[in-house]
């Protein structure tokens, strides 16, 4: 259970980091919080030849809230983002998702951007990014490019990050007024990766009737699965047609069975948790409208 | 092992400096040295226990700049400039048991003791944030630490007992959050 040897790089500026990454190409791997990478290395499932430690880069431990988005820097630990009051007021789904990420102790070290780049199909924050039409900022010696969430996840543990690139931030778009959100999941043990999880964002009109709804599911595909479930709204906007919801979800998910849950059980969870997340999000939207805030 | 021909000396020592329980250390360790191993093997601070070595059991939890972190999931070389607190640093100012340690004794919250250092550090930091937790909150606070002996009931009770002890200590004097001298008398 000891990690294999590697060559260690400790840059002190982003420019220096991308220079090193450019030189290393395919052989370079970024180390941020390391809460996924280090255990993978200890179990010898990963053996990068070079680690570029970004923990000493300045100006990346940031959470910035603007009128349109929340921008999370690459060194903002999960716990920092989770506790940030302004980020919570702007996008409650950030905290709702983050409180499900492993244990508080892991969240103290793990970074939100790192979790997104790691692209585990059972991880919460990739789903939150997709659900909020977010994007990831990638820096290299050639400059900065921004990849929208819809194009960022390309497969299980595979993202659009190219060799030589450093993810410097993730941006999450603020949902419109009258929105509500929720994140629910079921895991075998507290803090484990979920067998299935669902994030939901709904919008309501004055009076509280639903006008649109989307969910992102984890653990039931090789990447977060975004489903627009607006079609399954009942005529009055007071809720959802359960059969309609089930069909929309079934069309998109492709769960696999493993030691923790059969494919059938994951499908069942997807149905139940989708309904639960949407109800919770709707309830919050209605309360939020009353109190004049996004919930 | 994956040493390829042509790769040279990837275990070359790397310099790192940090403090542990207030004592500054300068180390030269291979980059792959986990913090848990650096503490135990290089600094001989064997209070930190290593259980699963992949971040599940919580026995190796230490505080990095005040926050609980799994020492088996961090490379020592990543912690340049950090202030680390281990279970040895959770004692009281006089070198006796700190409030959480005292509470564990009072409540019989340990049996074999292997997991205990991780609980002590986790709970010490948690009570800074939430000085008066309910039983429910106490349970949540320790959800990332595994204990195979106790069945957790007494540990939950100890979290609340530690809160009582702390509040008694804090009320008259103002502060007990001292780090500083280590019982081991180890110096770098």
pLDDT tens per residue across span B64-120: 999 999 999 999 999 999 999 999 999 998 999 999 999 999 999 999 999 999 999
> Does B55 sit within 8 Å of A35, measured CB to CB?
yes
Which residue does chain A place closest to B12, by CA atoms?
A7
Q: Which of B 35-54 lie inside 8 A of A, CB atoms?
A: 37, 53-54
Chain A interface includes B31 (CB < 8 A)? yes
> Does A47 sit within 8 Å of B31, measured CB to CB?
no
Q: What is the ipTM of this complex?
A: 0.93
- Which of chain B's residues have a Cβ under 8 Å away from the Cβ of A108? 64, 67-69
Name which of A30-34, A273-277, B7-11, B157-161 the model is least confident about: B7-11
Count CB-CB contacts under 10 A for residue A1. 13
> Does B2 sit within 8 Å of A4, measured CB to CB?
yes
Task: Choose the closest CB to A38 out of B67, B73, B144.
Answer: B73
Give the mutation candidate from A31, A100, A103 for the B interface (greatest B CB count, under 10 A): A103
Predicted confidence at residue B9, as pLDDT, reads 52
* Token couple for A33: 């919080």
Predicted confidence at residue A294, as pLDDT, reads 83
> Does A191 sit within 8 Å of B31, measured CB to CB?
no
Per-residue pLDDT band for B10 (boundaries 50, 70, 90) equals low
Chain B interface includes A102 (CB < 8 A)? yes
Which residue does chain B place closest to A7, by CA atoms?
B10
Task: Choose the closest CB to B2 out of A34, A47, A55.
Answer: A47
Helix/strand/coil (H/E/C) assignment for every residue in chain A: CCCCCCEEECCCCHHHHHHHHHHHHHHEEEECCCCCHHHHHHCCCCCCCEEEECCCCCCCCCEEECCCEEEEECCCEHHHHHHCHHHHHHCHHHHHHHCCCCCHHHHCCCEHHHHHHHCCCCCHHHHHHHHCCCEEEEEECCEEEEEEHHHHEEECCEECCCCCCEEEEEEEECCCCCEEEEEEEECCCCCCCCCEEEEEEEEECCCCCEEEEEEEEECCCCCCEEEECHHHECCCCCCECHHHHHHHHHHHCCCCCCCCCCHHHHHHHHHHHHHHHHHHHHHHHHHHHHHCCCC
> Does A105 sit within 8 Å of B144, measured CB to CB?
yes
Which residue does chain A place closest to B36, by CA atoms?
A2
Distance from the Cα of A53 to chain B's closest Cα (Å) equals 7
> Does A2 sit within 8 Å of B32, measured CB to CB?
yes
Task: Choose the closest CB to B144 out of A6, A55, A103.
Answer: A103
> Does A53 sit within 8 Å of B1, measured CB to CB?
no
Predicted confidence at residue A156, as pLDDT, reads 95
Q: What is the mean pLDDT of each run of 10 residues along chain A (295 residues)?
A: 95 98 97 97 96 97 98 98 98 98 96 98 98 98 98 97 98 96 94 95 95 97 97 93 96 96 98 98 95 84
Which residue does chain A place closest to B53, by CA atoms?
A1
> Does B141 sit within 8 Å of A190, measured CB to CB?
no
Task: Choose the closest CB to A4 out of B1, B37, B72.
Answer: B1
Distance from the Cα of B171 to chain A's closest Cα (Å) equals 27
Q: pTM surpassing 0.90? A: yes
Find out whether B128 and B178 touch, Cβ atoms under 8 Å: no
Indicate whether B181 pLDDT > 80: no
Per-residue pLDDT band for B175 (boundaries 50, 70, 90) equals very low
Indicate whether B176 pLDDT > 60: no
Distance from the Cα of A268 to chain B's closest Cα (Å) equals 27
Count CB-CB contacts under 10 A for residue A179. 25
For residues A201 and B181, the model is more confident at A201
Q: Which of B 141-160 lie inside 8 A of A, CB atoms?
A: 141, 143-144
Give the mutation candidate from A3, A4, A5, A107 for the B interface (greatest B CB count, under 10 A): A5
Indicate whether B11 pLDDT > 90: no
Q: Which of A 190-219 lie inside 8 A of B, CB atoms?
A: 190-191
pLDDT tens per residue, range A147-172: 999 999 999 999 999 999 999 999 99
Q: Which of A 133-152 lie inside 8 A of B, CB atoms?
A: none
């Amino acid at each position: 259970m000891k990690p294999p040897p590697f060559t260690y790089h400790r840059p002190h500026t982003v420019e220096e980091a991308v220079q090193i990454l450019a030189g290393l190409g395919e052989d370079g791997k970024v180390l941020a919080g390391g809460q996924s990478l280090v255990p993978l290395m200890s179990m010898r499932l990963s053996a990068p030849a070079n680690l570029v430690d970004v923990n000493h880069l300045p100006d990346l431990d940031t959470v910035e809230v603007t009128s349109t988005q929340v921008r999370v820097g690459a060194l903002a630990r999960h716990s920092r983002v989770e506790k940030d009051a302004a980020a919570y007021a702007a996008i409650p789904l950030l905290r709702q998702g983050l409180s499900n990420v492993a244990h508080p102790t892991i969240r103290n070290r793990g970074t939100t951007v790192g979790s997104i780049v790691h692209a585990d199909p059972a991880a919460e924050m990739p789903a939150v990014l997709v659900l909020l039409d977010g994007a990831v900022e990638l820096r290299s010696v050639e400059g900065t490019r921004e990849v929208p969430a819809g194009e960022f996840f390309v497969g299980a543990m595979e993202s659009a990050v190219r060799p030589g690139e450093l993810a410097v931030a993730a941006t999450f778009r603020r949902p419109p007024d009258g929105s509500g959100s929720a994140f629910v999941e079921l895991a075998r043990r507290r803090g484990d990766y979920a067998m299935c999880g669902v994030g939901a964002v709904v919008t309501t009109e004055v009076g509280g009737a639903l006008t649109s709804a989307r969910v992102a599911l984890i653990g039931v595909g090789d990447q977060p699965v975004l489903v627009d479930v607006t079609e399954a709204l009942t005529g009055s906007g007071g809720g959802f047609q359960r059969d309609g919801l089930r069909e929309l979800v079934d069309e998109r998910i492709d769960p696999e069975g493993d030691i923790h849950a059969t494919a059938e059980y994951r499908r069942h969870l997807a149905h139940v948790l989708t309904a639960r997340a949407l109800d919770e999000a709707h309830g919050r939207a209605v309360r939020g409208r009353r109190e004049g805030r996004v919930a | 092992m994956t040493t390829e021909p042509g790769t040279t000396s990837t275990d070359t020592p790397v310099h790192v400096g940090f403090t542990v329980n207030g004592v500054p250390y300068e180390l030269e360790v291979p980059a792959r040295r986990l913090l848990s191993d650096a503490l135990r093997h290089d600094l001989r601070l064997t209070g930190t226990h290593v259980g699963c070595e992949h971040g599940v059991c919580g026995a190796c939890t230490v505080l990095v700049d005040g926050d609980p972190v799994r020492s088996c999931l961090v490379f020592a070389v990543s912690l340049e400039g950090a202030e680390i607190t281990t279970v040895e640093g959770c004692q009281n100012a006089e070198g006796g048991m700190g409030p959480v340690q005292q509470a564990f004794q009072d409540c019989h919250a340990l049996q074999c003791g292997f997991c205990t250092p991780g609980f002590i550090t986790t709970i010490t930091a948690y009570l800074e944030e939430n000085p008066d937790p309910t039983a429910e909150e106490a349970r949540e606070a320790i959800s990332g630490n595994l204990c195979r002996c106790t069945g957790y009931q007494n540990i939950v009770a100890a979290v609340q007992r530690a809160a009582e002890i702390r509040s008694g200590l804090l009320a008259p004097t103002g502060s007990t959050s001292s780090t500083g001298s280590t019982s081991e008398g180890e110096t770098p």
